[in-house]
Each structure stands twice: as C-alpha cells, then as structure tokens.
Structure 1
Amino acid sequence: MSEPEHLDVLVLGSGQAGNLMAWHMARSGYRTALVERRWIGGSCPNIACMPSKNEVWSARVAHLVRNAGHFGTLTTPGQIDMGQVRQRKRDMVSGEVAGFLEGFKSSGAELIRGSGRFTGPKMLEVQLNDGGTRFLTADKVFLNIGTHSAMPDVPGLEAAKPLTHIDILEIDYVPPHLIVLGGGYVGLEFTQAYRRFGSAVTVIDAGPQIISREDADSAEAIARILSGEGIRILTGAKILKVEGSSGKAVTLTLQTGDGEERIEASDILVATGRVPNTAGIGLEDTGVALDERGYIRVNERLETSTPDVWALGECAGSPQFTHVSVDDFRIVKDNLAGGTRSTKDRLVPYCLFTDPPLAHVGLSERDAQRQGVSVRVAKLLTHAVLRAHTTDEKLGFLKVLIDDNDHIVGFTMIGAEAGEVMAAVQTAMLAGLPYPKLRDAVIAHLTMAEGLGPLLGNVPAKASVPEFA
C-alpha cells in the first residue's frame, strides 16, 4: 500500500452536515477533503426532499388546473407531460448541485469522487470513480454517510424490480395503477402526487394506521383526505407474495382482516423505511460501534466510540430530516470551538408535504401519555380559519397541547400553510411563552396563523384543586 496522504480533516459523505463541516474546516485553515461516491450535496437536493417536493408541486398544479372551473377559470382538460415534469426537476437539481460545487471551490475543501472503505482507525482507502486509488488518513474524521431504502423480505418483491423513491423521480410516464408499499411520509407524498398526475393508486401498510408516529386523529384526517381523491388505503395488510415485473404488470397477494386478496397493478413503489449505509465500508476496523439496527452509536455531542471521529445526520440515528443534519453540524462545530452543545432536548419540527400538509412540533398526545406529562388539549377545525374560506382550503385541523405551567408543549396542524403556522408556534415554545401571550397577540388578517387565536382560546381551564380544611 502507498504511503497515505495526511489530512487535518476527512469527511466521508456529501450530505448537508458533511458539506457544511468540510467547508467550515477548510475556511478555518485546515487541510480538508470530502469523499463522495455519487450525490454531490447528498440526498436532499438530488433524490429526496427537494426533487420530491418539486414533483409534488407539479402535481398540485395539475390538480388546480383540473379543478380550475370551481374558481371561475375555464380550461380544457389537460394532459400530463411527465417528461416535462422530470425535466423541471432535473433543472432544479442541476442548479442545486452547481451551488454545492461552488461551495467546495470557494472554501478550498477538496472534493474526492470515489467510494471509501476504512482500513484502520481514521485511515480510508478510496477507489476513485475515474480509476485509481488514494489512501487517506486524518486527525479528525466526520461520517455523514446517510441511509438507503429498505427492501421488505417478501417473496418475489425484489425480483419484480420495484421503484424506490429514487427511481420514481426519473420515470417519464404516468403509471396506470401504482401500488405504494408503506404509508409513511415518503410514500404518502408520492401517493397523492401520482393520483393527481392520473394514476390509480393503492397504499398498503402493515400497521394499524398510516403515518404510524402520528396521533390517530391526524392519521384518520390524512386518510380521509387521500381517500377523498380516490386513493385506496389498506392498513393491517401483510403481503404474501409478488408476481410479475414493475413497469409492466404485477400482482400482489396479501392478507387483510377480510381475508386473502389479489391486486393487479402496473407499478410498485417501495417506501417502507430506511437502512443506514454503514455496511461494507470497514467500520469494524475503526473501533466505531454500531447499534442493533446498524446505526452509528454516538453520544449527545455526536462523538463516536473512536476518539476524534464524529457521525452526523441519519447514519448517527438522528431524526431523518435535512434541518436536523444541519443542526448536527452546528452542534459539532460549536463544540470544536469549546462549546457545550448537545442533541438532548432539541425541539425538532417536521412537515408531511401532502396537500394540505401536516406539520408537527413537540409532543403528540401519545407522547404525553407515554411520558406521563399532564396536558390540556385544544382543537380547531381549519374550516374555522377565515383565510380558508377565501381559498377553499378548508380540510384539516389545528391541535395544541398545554402543560400545567401554561406552556405549549406540542402542536399539530393539517391545513394550508401548516409549516409556516407551526414555525410561529415553535418560536413561542422556544421562547417559553405562556400560551395566553400567543392567544392574545394581534395576528394579521387574513392569514392562516390568525387561527392560533381561536385555537388557544379553546384551551380548557385548569382543573380546580379541592381545598381541604
């Protein structure tokens, strides 16, 4: 083996946290290199968050055009050009990748295109994409290697070559009948999008409800919305076998509460979870420990079991959101400068980008019950928000959880602009404001956030405490 090149900082994986760390360290004067085998910028701008929301928006435009007559605009029935849908997505991705490449150029961090495998603690062998090998070692190593789609162990499924979230972004046709395996966030966003493009869509989930981490009322509301658009949803269903080839013709045999059923379709999308990209890269030679699911074990400072090796983003078991990966970077960056930041108790919001979207921050009712937190719950139908009357976006509800100290500890909204409304509530939570401060705030009319006033006005009074002589 050639003598390894010595670096100050080595980053494996070009996800959000990895890029930010490489650029920051290089700008701070450290000799820094980042190794990435394929996706410059990571999954978010290439194959996940941004391209999927790009196509979700195209589907929303198709839906609005189809229903334009309701708003007084007369149109002829439109056709879907999936080639153009794909091209709009590709153009956006190209622009995003160019921005990441500029980040490497301006920071001085070296971008190495290739596949890395550890041969010892902080020693990496890189098979370069254009041929050849480089051997690297560094004082500090940052792992930002992400996850990939899980493939359920179902007879015939893998042989049917189903679509993943990556593949479906590249198809140039509207599937006549798309089966979506998995009722989670990724699956449901594509479910509604492809229904709006014109596909018949069936969602199959093994659990008792879709979006399993949400409270039952949220899952039921989203199910009603999707069903109202003609989407069939099967929960508590076990797939027994798959026959055929996705993209041509497939048949699924499944067991439901009503017995055995066969479903024929044209395409299958698998969206049943994620698997960390920790296998086959030599981590066993580094002393970096994994948990029982294959994620890298880290402490609250995102340090691994090997000194001067950190793990960032999904591979560290962090919540699988880009904004969390960015915060992972900030935590490690500040701690390297002598700070004491940690992942403990951070307030992580998220959105499901269906139409209307679901937004959530803090505790759910189920979380509060499990943790023994006493809460008062208030709800308001989105229909009661006057803004919704002007746009006809009346589906959904707002829900807030208030603790015994009058603080907001959880918020969920299904409705137009839910993510923006949630950000206002999150700000109040971070500031520790008693809920009457937000209830009595003068919020602009006509906005969806205006609904926070009547929502918080519905908070039940505190239970009276009996007095004893």
Structure 2
Amino acid sequence: MTAKKMIVIGGGPGGYVAAIRGAQLGASVTVIESNKIGGTCLNDGCIPTKALYKSASLYHAMTETAQFGIHVDGFRLDMAGVQGHKQQVVGTLVDGVAALLKANRIDVISGKAHLMSNRQVAVSTPEGETTVLSADGIVIATGSEPMMPPIEGIDLEGVVTSEQILKFDFVPKKLTIIGGGVIGMEFAGIFNAFGSEVTVVEFADQILGQLDAEIVKRYAVQAKKQGIAIHKQTKAKQIRKLENQALVCTCEGKKGDFDIESDQILVSVGRIPRIRALNLDEAEIKYSLKGIEVTEHFETNQAGIYAIGDCNGKTMLAHAASHQAIEAVDHFMGVSHEHSATPIPSCVFVNPEIASVGLTEEALKESGIAYLKSKFMFGANGKALTMGEGEGILKVLSDKDGVLLGVHIMGPHASDLIHEATLALHQALDVNAIKGMIHAHPTLSEAFHEAVLGLKGEAIHLAPLKK
C-alpha cells in the first residue's frame, strides 16, 4: 500500500507537530518553511521572550536579596550576555526540532508556498526556482504576524513590533507600548525590570482583556507599584519625532488629548493570520479577516486541506496549534476519536505570573450560570512566603454542584500550577474528587487545594465566611 503524501506549510509548533504526527501514522511528509524551523514561537515569540523574562526576573531579584540576608554589590546588566542567553536557548530548541524532523524522515524545503487547485502547492525557493508538489493532504500552519494599526507616523524609526524589539541592544530610558494585551504587558514587565520607564496605552477599558477582571485588577495594582504607567480607554492617534530624536505619541484619553515622549515605541495591538500570500482564492478555500474557516477537525471547505494554529484565528497560542495539529492529522489519516471541547490554559509571564483556564466570572454572569466562588491568597501559603512572593491570589469557580468551571491564578509559578486545574476541568472533576488528594507541604499547590475546599466551606487555612 502506497503511503499517503502530506504537505505541511509552515514549520512552527503547529506545523512541525503535524509533520511528526503524520510520519508516526505512516504518511510521507514534506514541510515547507519560508523562514526558520520552529516558526514565530521558537524564533520570535514565546521562547525568546521567556528567555528575556528570566533575565529580567533575575536582574530584578538581585535588587531584593537583602530580605533574604544576602547583600550584593556591583552587579550590572550585560545586554550582550542577555541576548547571548536568548539566542543559545532558541538555537538549542530549533536544532532539536530540525533533528526530530530528520529522525522521522520528513523532507524540509525552504521556500514560499502558494496553494493551487487539486491539492497542489507551488514552492518558490530562495534561489528563484519554482517547484510544484502534489499531495493527498495539505496542512496549512502559517501562523500569524503583528497587526499594524493605521496610526500616522507608525513607520518612523524607533517604532517597532514585538518581533523587532527582541533584537534590542540597549535599554530605552523611556518606552511607550501601544497595546495592553499579553504581549504588550509581558514586554512592559521585562523592560520595567531592566530599568525602563514604561507607559502602556490601551484602547479598551481593561488590560489583558480576555482574563478574569478580578485577577487583572489585582495585577494592575502590582504593575503600578512596579512603576508601569497604564492608560486605559486611550487611543494612540499620532507618532512624531522631535529634533532630539525622541518619539512623541499623541493620545486621546477620557479627559482629552495628551502626549507621551519616549525613546522607543512598541506597537503590540495583536496579531493577524498570515494567509495573504497563500493564494487561497485560487484554491477556493474559504476565509475571512479572522482567518481560514475550518470544521471541528480543522478541515477547510476543501476536503483533505486543513488549517491549524494562528492562521485559522481560533486560539492564537502555540500549545493550541500543537493540539490542533494532532486532531487534524489524525482525522486525515483516519484515526477516529471522540471530539470534545478541551480546556486550553493560557499564561502571562508578568510579575507576578498570571495563568487561567476555563470560564471567567464575567462569562458565567453573562451566561446566567449559577456558580460558587472561592479564593485563596498566596500570602497565607508557607512556600510562597519563604520565596518572598506572597503577593497573589488563586481563584476557583464551580457550578452549584462543585464541578470546576474556571481557575484563575496570579502568583508565583502560576504557569506551572495551572495544569492541575486544567486536568480537573478536562475530567470535569468536582470538589469531592480533589479534596481527598494529599498535596505536599510546603508547596504552592496547596493554594489550589485550599481554594477548592473553600467552595464548600471546608478550607482549613481560610477564615470562615461571615453568615
């Protein structure tokens, strides 16, 4: 029996996972990548920003060692070292992905892909050659790119995207960030820790708009204490450059127009699917400004052609792309399994970290769902206090029967703690299923246990609610 041929367009966390899964199931797989294996996540997104986040966190921690009885003098920020660490991490992971593709006997072609009819793909190589490939199935995994709003002066030197700012070789004295979403706030925290005077301009009435409002409100207080200025319900109207090369962003706020002067401006208002160069019209694939239209198995309107990850606009997270890759390839290869909604955790690497899974309290109210709520403060957690990180909260939401519906964390290692909650939601666990599980002491995970027990008024380290 001849192996099915599969083409994957894009070698990011969706594309390379799709390719490896296809190879595992016996397909003959070719990956087409126009830039670097690993995609935006490994090269220009989540991995390099987390490397910078670690450097920033350590640098900030050096200023607070006295509380642990350690006095350090003369430490300094070495930008070449910071960038070197970032590139070493990125290089290691990219090489690892390339090795995995090779080990799975997956062909990798460097070039730009253009979809044609009849499941054909034209590949334009850097050398100027064009090759047409045919396949039984095609997986589109082209990711996304930064959105650039129509602001006058946005093309001025010193105005950068989230991908461009990663290559910085100096810390701007003043940094303005247009956009208070996840990417914007992560960079705000990084540069604030490095010593920049950071100002965030957010059009909506809340930064981190997809998160639970109570968590965001508490984080905003911490951000202000750290020196990050946040202007909500504010529109960036114009950018201009002064004779001294400083950039001025004119903004429209609730009380009228005002100017923000800075050395550099980061534009981080979101990302859009990278699909313009795919030639979707010729392939008769349906799409909109939000992305390529897909079924529950991530198949487009053309049988055998799938779209996963950011390019379908459903959930712009690397781990969502990887999960969609498995679903799509399994469907293409005839591996059947029951399709069900899977809770997707999200993490924001600020200080303190934020992580969330499931429904927010606002979503429950809007849906009219009766719910229970419990909160546990990290200030009452022994491990958090020994770490000097007592600021934070763990919030649990459940239905009236105690089945967990949402968990929202702001605190130390929130990005690690969220996965016990994700498993609980994935398995539709209730309070009784969780309360009998012993959590080691002293650990941060005890905060989740206590918050869950609090749903039924059984938490030991929470004062009883006043009746």
Query: Residue 346 of structure 1 is aligned with which of 342, 349, 363?
Result: 342
Residues of 1 paired with 2:441 and 2:297: CA distance? 43
The one-letter amino acid paired with 2:165 is I
Matched, 1:286 2:283: yes
Distance 1:339 1:119, change over 3 A: closer
Distance 1:27 1:401, change over 3 A: closer
Matched, 1:140 2:137: yes
Query: Residue 184 of structure 1 is aligned with which of 181, 199, 204?
Result: 181
Query: Residue 232 of structure 1 is aligned with which of 214, 221, 229?
Result: 229
Report the counterpart of residue 169 of structure 1 in structure 2.
Answer: 166
Report the counterpart of residue 65 of structure 2 in structure 1.
Answer: 68
Report the counterpart of residue 326 of structure 2 in structure 1.
Answer: 330
Residues of 2 paired with 1:326 and 1:257: CA distance? 41
Matched, 1:399 2:431: no
Residues of 2 paired with 1:10 and 1:45: CA distance? 21
Report the counterpart of residue 264 of structure 1 in structure 2.
Answer: 261
Report the counterpart of residue 372 of structure 1 in structure 2.
Answer: 368
Assess if the C-alpha contact under 8 Å between 2:158 and 2:247 holds in 1. no
Report the counterpart of residue 204 of structure 2 in structure 1.
Answer: 207
Q: How far apart are 1:343 and its partner, in Å?
A: 6.3
Distance 1:288 1:161, change over 3 A: farther
2:409 is paired with a residue whose SS is strand
Assess if the C-alpha contact under 8 Å between 2:18 and 2:322 holds in 1. no
The one-letter amino acid paired with 1:413 is I
Residues of 2 paired with 1:234 and 1:396: CA distance? 23
Report the counterpart of residue 114 of structure 1 in structure 2.
Answer: 111
Matched, 1:276 2:269: no
Distance 1:278 1:342, change over 3 A: farther
2:281 is paired with a residue whose SS is helix
Assess if the C-alpha contact under 8 Å between 1:438 and 1:452 holds in 2. no
The one-letter amino acid paired with 2:129 is G
Report the counterpart of residue 244 of structure 1 in structure 2.
Answer: 241
Q: TM-score, with normalisation over the residues of structure 2?
A: 0.93
Distance 1:436 1:170, change over 3 A: same
Query: Residue 80 of structure 2 is aligned with which of 78, 83, 88?
Result: 83
Q: How far apart are 1:441 and its partner, in Å?
A: 2.9
Report the counterpart of residue 465 of structure 2 in structure 1.
Answer: none
Report the counterpart of residue 362 of structure 1 in structure 2.
Answer: 358
Distance 1:219 1:342, change over 3 A: farther
2:113 is paired with a residue whose SS is strand
Query: Residue 35 of structure 2 is aligned with which of 28, 34, 38?
Result: 38
1:148 is paired with a residue whose SS is strand
Distance 1:30 1:443, change over 3 A: closer
Residues of 1 paired with 2:73 and 2:159: CA distance? 34
Q: TM-score, with normalisation over the residues of structure 1?
A: 0.92
Distance 1:328 1:252, change over 3 A: same
Q: How far apart are 1:342 and its partner, in Å?
A: 6.9
Residues of 2 paired with 1:77 and 1:247: CA distance? 32
Report the counterpart of residue 464 of structure 1 in structure 2.
Answer: none
Matched, 1:193 2:197: no
Q: How far apart are 1:36 and its partner, in Å?
A: 0.6
Q: How far apart are 1:28 and its partner, in Å?
A: 4.3
Matched, 1:419 2:452: no
Number of aligned residue pairs: 456
1:284 is paired with a residue whose SS is coil
Q: How far apart are 1:338 and its partner, in Å?
A: 3.3
Q: How far apart are 1:344 and its partner, in Å?
A: 4.7
Name the % identity: 27
Task: Indicate the RMSD between aligned Cα atoms, in angstroms.
Answer: 2.1
The one-letter amino acid paired with 1:452 is F
Assess if the C-alpha contact under 8 Å between 1:318 and 1:324 holds in 2. no
Distance 1:30 1:227, change over 3 A: same
Measured against aligned partners, the alpha-carbon deviations of 1:416-438 in whole angstroms (never above 9, x if no partner) come to: 12122221122222233221332
Assess if the C-alpha contact under 8 Å between 1:141 and 1:310 holds in 2. yes
Assess if the C-alpha contact under 8 Å between 2:431 and 2:455 holds in 1. no
Comparing 381-390 and 263-272, the one that deviates more: 381-390
Measured against aligned partners, the alpha-carbon deviations of 1:285-308 in whole angstroms (never above 9, x if no partner) come to: 0111003x2400001011100111
Q: How far apart are 1:231 and its partner, in Å?
A: 0.9
Comparing 36-45 and 423-432, the one that deviates more: 423-432
Measured against aligned partners, the alpha-carbon deviations of 1:224-256 in whole angstroms (never above 9, x if no partner) come to: 111111111111111121002899420011111
Matched, 1:428 2:424: yes
The one-letter amino acid paired with 1:358 is I
Assess if the C-alpha contact under 8 Å between 1:7 and 1:137 holds in 2. no
Assess if the C-alpha contact under 8 Å between 1:313 and 1:328 holds in 2. yes
Assess if the C-alpha contact under 8 Å between 1:113 and 1:128 holds in 2. yes
Residues of 1 paired with 2:29 and 2:362: CA distance? 45
Residues of 2 paired with 1:64 and 1:330: CA distance? 40
Unaligned runs of 5+ in 1: 1-5, 462-469
Q: How far apart are 1:163 and its partner, in Å?
A: 1.5
Matched, 1:384 2:380: yes
Assess if the C-alpha contact under 8 Å between 2:212 and 2:408 holds in 1. no
Measured against aligned partners, the alpha-carbon deviations of 1:353-376 in whole angstroms (never above 9, x if no partner) come to: 112111111111111122222111
2:73 is paired with a residue whose SS is coil
The one-letter amino acid paired with 2:13 is Q
1:264 is paired with a residue whose SS is strand
Comparing 317-326 and 264-273, the one that deviates more: 317-326
Report the counterpart of residue 438 of structure 1 in structure 2.
Answer: 434
Q: How far apart are 1:78 and its partner, in Å?
A: 2.6
2:291 is paired with a residue whose SS is coil
Measured against aligned partners, the alpha-carbon deviations of 1:15-41 in whole angstroms (never above 9, x if no partner) come to: 222112223334544332111110211
The one-letter amino acid paired with 2:347 is C
Q: How far apart are 1:147 and its partner, in Å?
A: 0.5
Assess if the C-alpha contact under 8 Å between 2:57 and 2:193 holds in 1. yes
